[in-house]
Amino acid sequence: MNSGKAIFVGNIKGGVGKSTLAVYLTDYLRARYERRPVMLLDTDPQGTAFEMMRPLSRADDIKFLPIGDRYDGVSMTTLDGILRRMLSEEDSVTIVDTGAGKLGNVWQMAMLCSTV
């Protein structure tokens, strides 16, 4: 059994393509590894990845959780639970898209769980 993997897409600077990379990576992995669970966590308050992913997502093969403007209310416990659940699924891939800057809890959790 292979445990899940997490990929953290982050940068302190805005407008460098973090959300674009996260969305295309999610779509590529979904197509390449059809039987693997793939999840994109959009933790950017702007919700860019959420908007970009809508036309690409199909409910039966991708899990998508927009955190968006509720970012400040996201606790470490919530993030920990989501990531632990996905990482415990065999061969799963979780991609975490972040907003610009040091975003506290999201960056901490993503860096701790990131495997790539």
Write out the H or E segment, with its range, that includes residue 11: none
Domain ranges of the chain: 18-113
Residue with tokens 């996905």: 86
Q: How confident is the model at residue 5 (pLDDT cuts 50, 70, 90)?
A: confident
Digit-coded pLDDT (tens) for 17-72: 899 999 999 989 988 988 888 888 877 777 788 788 877 776 554 455 555 445 45
Q: The tokens of 33 are what?
A: 């590894």
Q: What is the pLDDT of residue 25?
A: 93
Residue 60 in 3-state DSSP? coil
DSSP conformational letter for 16: S
User: Is 90 exceeded by the pLDDT of residue 2?
Assistant: no
Least confident of 28-42, 74-88, 89-103: 74-88
